[in-house]
A = this chain, B = another copy of it.
Amino acid sequence: MGTRERILEFLEGFIEENGFAPSVREIARHLGFRSTKAIKVHLDEMANMGWIEKKGGVARGIHLIEKGIPIIGRVQAGQPTLQFEGVEGHFSFDKWKGSFLLRIKGDSMIGAHIEEGDLVVIEKDRETRKGDIVVALVEDETTVKRLDKKNGRWILKPENPDYSIIDKEFQVIGVVIGMIRKY
C-alpha cells in the first residue's frame, strides 16, 4: 500500500475516533516517519488530487469529503472474494439533516409499502401537493396518509382498503420525503 493510501486510511480512522483531524506530526509519527516534510508534501498532493480537503495554515485543517454510502451497480463474481463494482453513485444522509423521523404505527399505508415500524423522514415547511404522503394532525392524533383532493376539499387517503378516507378538519405537519427501514 502506498504512502498516500496509508495516510488516507489513518485519517479515516483518526477522524472516526476523535472527531477531528490529526496534526501533520501525528500522521508522521503514526506512519513511522521521522520528519513531517514528506507528509506535508503528500497531503498537499492529496488535496490537489481531491482525495482530501485541506486549508493551509490552519491547525488540523484537513477533512475528508463525505460522499456517503456507495450505490453499487453490478456485482462481479470472482474467486475467492466477491467484488462490488461499478459504483453508480452515493447516497448521503446530509440532505435529511434537519428533518425528523416518525415511526409508523399500523398498516394504513401498506399499499404504498410503508409498514409498521418504518421510519418516515419528515420535512416541515415544505409546500404540499396533491398526492404527497404527509404527516397530519387529526383530532390530536398524528397520522401518515396520502394527501388528496375531493370536491375541492383536501382529504387524507389511507393506502389500505380496510381504512376509510379522512374527510374532516386536519392540519398538515410535514411532507414525507423519505423512509428508513431497519431489519
From B59, B63, B75, contact of A18 by CB (8 A)? B63
A contact residues, total (Cβ < 8 Å): 56
Any B CB within 8 A of the CB of A114: yes
Are B133's CB and A77's CB within 8 A? no
Nearest CB of B to A36, in Å? 15
Nearest CB of B to A60, in Å? 5
The docked-state distance in angstroms from the alpha carbon of A72 to that of B59 is 38
Stretch from A41-49, A88-96, A149-157, A160-168 at the B interface? A88-96
CB-CB contacts below 8 Å: A49-98 with B: 53, 55, 58-64, 69-72, 74-75, 77, 82, 84, 88, 91, 93, 96-97
Are A70's CB and B101's CB within 8 A? yes
The docked-state distance in angstroms from the alpha carbon of A180 to that of B18 is 28
Any B CB within 8 A of the CB of A21: yes
